[in-house]
Amino acid sequence: MAEFESKGSSNFIRNIIEEDIRNGVFGGRVHLRFPPEPNGYLHIGHAKSICLNFGLAAEYGGLCNLRFDDTNPTKEELEYVESIKEDIKWLGFDWGDREYYASDYFDQLYQYAVQLIKAGKAYVCDLSAEQIKEYRGTLTRPGRESPYRNRSVEENLDLFERMRAGEFEDGSRVLRAKIDMASPNLNMRDPVMYRILHAEHHRTGDKWCIYPTYDFTHGQSDSIEGITHSICTLEFEDHRPLYDWFLDELKIHHPKQIEFARLNLSHMVLSKRKLLALVEGGYVSGWDDPRMPTLSGFRRRGYTPASIRNFCERIGVAKRESVVDIALLEHCVREDLNKHAPRVMAVLNPLRVVIDNYPEGKRETLEALNNPEDPGMGTRKVPFSRVLYIEQDDFMENPPKKFYRLAPGREVRLRYAYFIRCVDVVKDQNTGEVKELHCTYDPATRGGDAPDGRRVKATLHWVSAQHAIPAEVRLYDHLFTVPAPKEEDEGADFTAYLNPHSLITLKSCRVEPSLQGAAPGSRYQFERLGYFCVDAFDSSDGWLVFNRTVTLKDAWAKIKKGQGLNPA
């Protein structure tokens, strides 16, 4: 489990930055960047990186750029660029006017490549991709030098220029850095800098038919933007010598690359490739399906930006990979919604209740608290009448010992209303299913307390049948049944671990009338049931659709209690 760190507390990245500020490295400046590749929607792992980069920049009075790492020409990138910007803003961060694209640096990168060729540090290689791989060797076997390695500078300049001019087929030649085929680090064995790809780019169109690799692009883009600390995930640790080599050879501004462990979340996959497979395979309704670990999915599900930022702060940053329990994320959401979400009553699986001794046609309005955690949120009126709905599972005809809710002959409290006692049960003649309850109410218990001090063991939520609004409610559960679908994936298809019950749709729910016209995206606590938000896409004027954000049961608090810790 990841260690806990709160804002302002130290972590190893802060230590490096603070030391650099103290020693006047980079003139005391702090300038960071968040560099997404626009090939998918942002997920909660990206949120960790966003919070880290934008958060540290703000903390040290620095800047954070948004840079699209768009060196791979593909078709759908525009949709991704727009969604990425929307998600970063939603999370609460601002890149000001510093929206950059690696593709904006293609001319400069080309010049850098020419500079390295002239210095005898890069060459055009005619080996095929398979041959390059073959020649590279392995961790235990040194590589072999390409027969094209000692081409003259003039020949290299000529061939590279002709690569750019489109004279050669895709894959027929590459530009490689001339480093060390015997290096223990495979990344240093003459890595590829440019490949030929006759493909349209979403920003540069058909201007280029050669594209720089990630390794040749990233550090130089950092340098061009004057980045001071280039924070990335651990898989780039082995690339750092190469990052440094390019910048040293080019003799340009040299940012410091720092690696941290990426976030893994239990019961989830966090790889754009796998998320795309879920979307394309129709396993979810889209990138913003409320079960997806994407920011757009979480937004639609009802998560607040504050709760995600809080989660990212709590998991902290470390050098070692770990899996964070999704229960912690849910705990953060619950904590935030508990403070801010107004309470309402909604019945998901309605059971009709007739109060026999309540006058027909009478209607009372009872006062209900909007949030017991925050009296400042005030009260609202809830209508009460002779026919109500309660939750089907709040009644049992033959209750077992520990069932304290409604049963024949038993008295319970209706929240904010009265005590009622069940006097009769109406069943379907054929199926035996309970269709309707008859109850009596005690007028002296208005507001929910008995003046004679008698007690009941349960308080139920309810709605007035005549006044309630029909609604659809979507109950979401974990997308995967196993805590680590990523590891289970080896050899098997990770979709085999999809939870078949991750979405349950209920279409005959009833919600209290105060929800009439509830704004898309607004969040509520349905008393006793959980937190819900109005679906921003499928709700309309006449039909409210609610997504369950999270249940009330706090698995994280339980885990912490079991470990003898206080829930954070």
Catalytic residue chosen out of the listed positions 272, 299, 301, 486: 272
CB of 84 to ligand ATP, least distance (A): 8
Catalytic residue chosen out of the listed positions 29, 85, 144, 262: 262
- Coil, helix or strand at residue 500: coil
Residues touching ligand ATP: how many (CB under 6 A)? 14
Contact between residue 368 and residue 380 where contact means Cβ atoms under 8 Å apart? yes
Residue 402 burial by Cβ neighbours in a 10 Å radius (0-12, 13-18, 19+): exposed
Catalytic residue chosen out of the listed positions 5, 14, 29, 37: 37
Helix (H) or strand (E) holding 65: strand 63-68
Q: Is residue 88 near ligand ATP by the rule CB under 6 A?
A: no
Per the listing, tokens 């006058």 go with: 359
Binding at 271: pick from Mg ion, ligand ATP, none (beta carbon under 5-8 Å per type): ligand ATP
Residue 170 CA, chain-centre distance (Å), reads 37
Distance CA 412, CA 455 (A): 9
Distance CA 437, CA 447 (A): 22
- Nearer CB in complex with Mg ion: 37/161: 37
Binding at 233: pick from ligand ATP, Mg ion, none (beta carbon under 5-8 Å per type): ligand ATP
CB of 152 to ligand ATP, least distance (A): 37
Q: Is residue 74 near ligand ATP by the rule CB under 6 A?
A: no
401 in catalytic set: no
The dihedral formed by the CA atoms of 231, 42, 72 and 193, expressed in degrees to the nearest 10: 10
262 in catalytic set: yes
Query: Residues near 287 by Cβ (< 8 Å), separated by ≥ 6?
Result: 40, 41, 83, 275, 279, 294, 296, 297
- Nearer CB in complex with ligand ATP: 35/297: 35
Q: Is residue 272 near ligand ATP by the rule CB under 6 A?
A: yes
Distance CA 335, CA 87 (A): 22
Distance CA 105, CA 334 (A): 44
Contact between residue 243 and residue 257 where contact means Cβ atoms under 8 Å apart? yes
Q: Is residue 255 near ligand ATP by the rule CB under 6 A?
A: no
Binding at 85: pick from ligand ATP, Mg ion, none (beta carbon under 5-8 Å per type): none
From 3-11, 268-276, 307-315, 487-495, give the range in contact with ligand ATP by CB under 6 A: 268-276
Position among 263, 268, 437, 460 found at the interface with ligand ATP (CB under 6 A): 263
- Nearer CB in complex with Mg ion: 56/232: 232
From 128-136, 181-189, 265-273, 491-499, give the range in contact with ligand ATP by CB under 6 A: 265-273
Q: Which residue is nearest to ligand ATP (CB)?
A: 45
Binding at 36: pick from ligand ATP, Mg ion, none (beta carbon under 5-8 Å per type): ligand ATP
Binding to Mg ion, residues 19-78 (CB under 5 A): 37
CB of 43 to ligand ATP, least distance (A): 6
Give the residues across from 183 on adjacent strands.
none
Distance CA 511, CA 390 (A): 11
- Coil, helix or strand at residue 343: strand
Position among 271, 392, 440, 522 found at the interface with ligand ATP (CB under 6 A): 271
Give the residues across from 365 on adjacent strands.
383
Site string for ligand ATP, 4-43 (x = CB under 6 A): -------------------------------xxx------
Q: Say if strands 174-177 and 192-196 run parallel, antiparallel, or are unpaired.
A: antiparallel
CB of 274 to ligand ATP, least distance (A): 8
Q: Is residue 293 near ligand ATP by the rule CB under 6 A?
A: no
Contact between residue 245 and residue 272 where contact means Cβ atoms under 8 Å apart? no
Q: Is residue 48 near ligand ATP by the rule CB under 6 A?
A: yes
In the chain, the amino acid numbered 47 is A
Binding at 486: pick from Mg ion, ligand ATP, none (beta carbon under 5-8 Å per type): none
Give the residues across from 354 on adjacent strands.
387, 438
Distances (CA, A) of 201 to 71, 75, 113, 430, 502: 9, 8, 20, 67, 38
37 in catalytic set: yes
Residue 340 burial by Cβ neighbours in a 10 Å radius (0-12, 13-18, 19+): middle
Q: Is residue 270 near ligand ATP by the rule CB under 6 A?
A: yes
What's phi and psi for 328, nearest 5 deg? Answer: -70, -40
CB of 42 to Mg ion, least distance (A): 12
| Spatial CA neighbour of 193 closest among 132, 264, 260 | 132
Position among 13, 109, 175, 232 found at the interface with ligand ATP (CB under 6 A): 232
CB of 271 to ligand ATP, least distance (A): 4
Note the residues at the interface with Mg ion (CB under 5 A): 37
Note the residues at the interface with ligand ATP (CB under 6 A): 35-37, 45-46, 48-49, 232-233, 262-263, 270-272
Active site positions, annotated:
37, 262, 272
